[in-house]
Amino acid sequence: MTMAAEPLQTALQSWAEIDLPALRPNLDQTVQSLVESRETSLQARKSLGERTKTLKRAIKTASDDGTTTSIASLATECKATIKAYQGEIDSLTKRCKLSESNFTKLYDVIYNREDPAASLRRAMEIVQSRDDQLENLLGAMEELNGELEGVREKEQAWAAEREELLTQLKESEVRKDHDENNNNNNSNNSALSLAEREELIQLRSEVAEYEVEFKGLKNQDITIRKLEAKIEQLEKDREHELQTELSKAREELAEVEGRRATEALEREAITSRKVQSLELQLRAERAGREASASQLLAAEDGLGEHEAAWEAQKQILVGDADRLREELAECARERDEVRLRMEAVLERDEGGSGGDGTTTTPPSSGGAKMLLAEYMSERKAYEAEIGELSDTCNALREELRAKEDSISEERTSAKSKIEVLERERVTLTNQLSSLELKVANAPSQDVVDKMRHELRILKRLEYNALDIDHNDRSDPETTVGDDLESVLVAKLRKVEADLVRERREKSEGVKEREELNSELDNVKKSLGEAEELVASLENDLQLAVQTPTPSKTTSRSNSSSAELPYAPTNPPNPNTLQKVLDPNAPLIVDSNPITKPPTASAASQERANDDHSVATIVMAQRDRLRARCDALEAERDSFKRELQVQVQTSESLKTDNTKLYEKVRYLQSFNATSGGSMMRGRNSSLSSDRDLDIEALESRYEASVDPFRQFSRAERQRKYNEMSPLEKVVFIVAKTTLGSKEMRKALFFYVLGMHLLVFVTTYHWSHSSSCDFLHKHEALAHFHGGMPLPESPAGEAAAAAHQAAKLLDSN
C-alpha cells in the first residue's frame, strides 16, 4: 500500500502547490474585472449607438442646411464618433490582452503539473483492491455466519439433550426420594442406587461442561453481532466516501477527457487537413515529375531517333560525295587520256609534215579542226558535268552542314529543357520542404480561430464598408437576427458611407464655390484693369488734346508721370472723349470741373502737342504692357507652385489608395476564407457601388508589393549603372529597336533582305568573274571572236585567216 500510495502522494503535493484556495481570489477578481469590462463595453456600445444616431441627425441637418456651422458641427461630431470607436477598439484590445495574460498564467500553472488522470487511475486501483478485500471479508463473514448457524444448530441439539438429561435427573431424584423412603430394601437395590448415583454425577459434570460451552458460545455470538454492526457501519461510511470520491473523480475525468477529446479532435482535423494538403502537393509534384520524366524520355528518344536519322543521311551524303569524287577522278583521267591522244595526233601530224618537206594540205588541216572541235565539245561536256557535280556536292555539303547545325541546336534546346526541368524539380522540392516547415510551425486551430474572431471584430469596426440593407431604416439595436458587433459594424459602415458621400458633396461644393470665387475675382480684376485702362487712355487723350506747347520742364514732368503705370494725376474728363467722337455733341456738366489750360491756336503748337500726346500714349502702353507681363509672370509662378502642390497631393493620394487597396485586398482574402453568404452579399454591394479604378490600384499595388519585380528593377538599375557609356548607348538602341513587335518584325525583314542581297550579289559576282575568266582565256579566245594560240600550223592558219578577215573588215 505504501508503494501504491507514493504516486498519489506526489500528485497530491504537486496539486497542493497550486494552492487553489489562495488562487481563487485572483480568479474571482479577474472574472469580476472581465464582467465589469463586458458591462462597460455594453454601455460603451450603447453610447456609440447614441453617437451614431446624433451623427445621423447632424448629417441630415448638414445636408438640409448646407451652412458652414452645420458642416463644422458635423466635422466635430464625426471626430468625436471616430474617437469613441477608437476608444472602444482600445478597450476591446485591452480585454483581449488581459484574457490572454490570464490564460497564459493559468496555462503555466497547470502545464507543469502531473496528469491527474494517472493518479486517479491509481486511486481507482487502490479502491478496487480495497473493494476486493471487502468482498473477501464479506465472503469470510458469510462463511462465519454459516459456521455460526451450524454452531447454533448444535447448540439447539445440545439444549434438547440437556433437557432430556434434566428430565432424566428429575426422574432420578424422584427415584432417589422413593429409594430413601424405602430404606429397607435389599442389597441388590442399594447396588443399583450406587450405579445411578455415578451416572447422575457424570451427567451433572456433562451439564456443567455444556453450560460453560453455552456461555462461551453466547459471548461469541455477542461479539459476532457487534462485529457485524461495526462492519455494516464501516461499509456504509466507506460506500458513502467512495461514492463522493468517485463522483468527484468522474466529473474531473469527464472534464479532462472532454478537453482532451476536443483537443485531440482539433489536432486530428488539423493534421488531416495538413496531410490532405501535403498529399495534394505530393501528388502534384509526382505528376509534375512524371510529366517531366516522360518529357525527358520523349526528348531523349526523339533526340536519339533524330541523331540516327541524321547519321544515316550523313553516311548517305558522304557516300554520294565519295562516288562523285570517284566519277570526277575518272572524268579527269579520261580528259587526260583524250589530251594525250590529241597531243599524239598533233605530233603525228607534225612529224608527217616534216618528213615530206611540204606544208600541210587543206584536208589534213580540216581533220585537225574536226578533232579539235570534237575535243572541245567533249571538254565542254565534261566541264559542264563536272560543274553540275560540284554544284550538287556543294549543295549536299551545305545541306549536311545545315542538318548538323539543326541537330546541335536541338541538342542544346534539349539540354536547356532538361536543365529547366531540373531547376523546376529543385524548386518544387524546396517549396515542399518550406511548406512542411510552415505546416510544422503553424499555430493551433484554437489560436487561429481566436485571432480570426478578434481580427474579424476589429476589421468590421475599423474599415469602411456599405450597409447591408439600404432600405432598412429601423433601429439596429432592436434587430434580433444579428449580434451587437454586426449591428455596430453595419451602423459604422452606413455612417462612413454617408460621411464619405457628404465629404464628396462638400468637396464638390467647395470646388464649385472656389471656381465661382476665382471667376468672380477674375471678372473684378479684368473690370478694374479695364476701368484703369479707360481712365489712363482718357487722361492721355485729354493731355493730347489740351496740353500747350511743351517745355523742357513740362516734358520732364510728363515723362516722369508717364513712367508710372496707371497713374493719372487728375480724374478723366468725359467731355474729351465725347468731343473726339462727336464734335457737335453737347458738353457734359461735371460736378468737379477741371481747370482747362488755354488752347493754342498755332498749327505748329498743335503738331507738337500731337507728337507729345502720341509719345505719352506709347509710353503708357509700354508701362501697361510691362505691368501685364509682371502679372503674368507672377501668375505663372503661382501656377507652377500650385502644380507642384497638386503633384505632391496626387502622389500622396496614390500612396493612400495603394494602402487602402491593400486593406481591401486583405479583407477580400479574409472574407474569401471565412465568409459566408452575408459576406458575399456585402462584397456584391461593395463591387456594385465602388468608385475607384480597381485595376489600376491592383497593378500599382502588385508593382509596389512584388519583391521579384523590385529586385529585378534594382538589379537592372545596378547593371545599367555599371555599364560603360558605349554599352549604355548599345543597350538603349537595342531596347528601342527590339522593344516593340513592329520594330522586331522590321529588323527581321531588313536582315533577311540584306542576306538575300549579299547572296545575290556574291552569286552574280562569281558568275561574272568566271565568265570574264573564260572570255579572257587565250585557249578559248577564238570562240568569242578572239585570236587562237599560234602553237600549231592550224593555229597559225587560223590566226592568219583572222588577221585577213580583220583587214577586209577595215578596208
Q: DSSP assignment of 409-440, as one string? A: HHHHHHHHHHHHHHHHHHHHHHHHHHHHHHHH
Domain boundary among 113, 135, 162: 113
Tell me if 252 sits within 8 A of 120, measured CB to CB.
yes
- Compute the average pLDDT of residues 275-295: 76
232/331 same-domain check: yes
333 in any annotated domain: yes
Where do we find the cell 468608385?
A: 691
88/219 same-domain check: no
Local confidence band at 485 (pLDDT 50, 70, 90 cut-offs): low
311 in any annotated domain: yes
305 in any annotated domain: yes
pLDDT of 755 reads 95
Give dist(CA 733, CA 739) in Å, integer.
Answer: 10
Task: List the grid coordinates of 478.
Answer: 432592436
Where do we find the cell 432424566?
A: 168
Number of domains in the chain: 3
87/214 same-domain check: no
* Alpha-carbon separation of residue 481 from 457, 477, 769 (angstroms): 17, 11, 101
Local confidence band at 87 (pLDDT 50, 70, 90 cut-offs): confident
- Compute the average pLDDT of residues 616-638: 85
Where do we find the cell 578572239?
A: 786
pLDDT in tens, 121-147: 777 787 787 778 778 777 777 777 777
Q: Is 566 left (phi over 0), alpha (psi -120 to 50) or beta?
A: left
214/332 same-domain check: yes
* Alpha-carbon separation of residue 790 from 613, 775, 779, 800, 801 (angstroms): 111, 18, 10, 10, 12
DSSP state of 476: G
Cβ atoms < 10 Å from Cβ of 399: 12
pLDDT of 559 reads 42
DSSP state of 571: P
| Residue-number span of the structural domain to which 380 is assigned | 194-348+368-439
Give dist(CA 485, CA 508) in Å, integer.
Answer: 34
Closest CA to 375 of 383, 365, 363: 383
Burial class of residue 506, CB neighbours in 10 A (0-12, 13-18, 19+)? middle
Give dist(CA 328, CA 144) in Å, integer.
Answer: 136
Beta carbons within 8 Å of 311's beta carbon, 6+ residues apart: none
601 in any annotated domain: no
Give dist(CA 77, CA 448) in Å, integer.
Answer: 37
pLDDT in tens, 695-750: 777 777 777 777 777 788 888 889 889 989 999 898 888 888 887 888 888 889 99
381 in any annotated domain: yes
435/314 same-domain check: yes
Local confidence band at 193 (pLDDT 50, 70, 90 cut-offs): low
3-state secondary structure 608-665: HHHHHHHHHHHHHHHHHHHHHHHHHHHHHHHHHHHHHHHHHHHHHHHHHHHHHHHHHH
342 in any annotated domain: yes
Cβ atoms < 10 Å from Cβ of 429: 12
First-to-last alpha carbon distance for the chain, in angstroms, is 158
Torsion of CA 715, 720, 721, 723, to 10 degrees: 130
286 in any annotated domain: yes
Q: Is the pLDDT of residue 162 over 60?
A: yes
252/108 same-domain check: no
Domain boundary among 113, 139, 165: 113
pLDDT of 752 reads 95
83/208 same-domain check: no
109/211 same-domain check: no
pLDDT of 392 reads 80
Give dist(CA 466, CA 496) in Å, integer.
Answer: 8
476 in any annotated domain: no
Task: List the grid coordinates of 184.
Answer: 429397607
Domain boundary among 411, 439, 467: 439
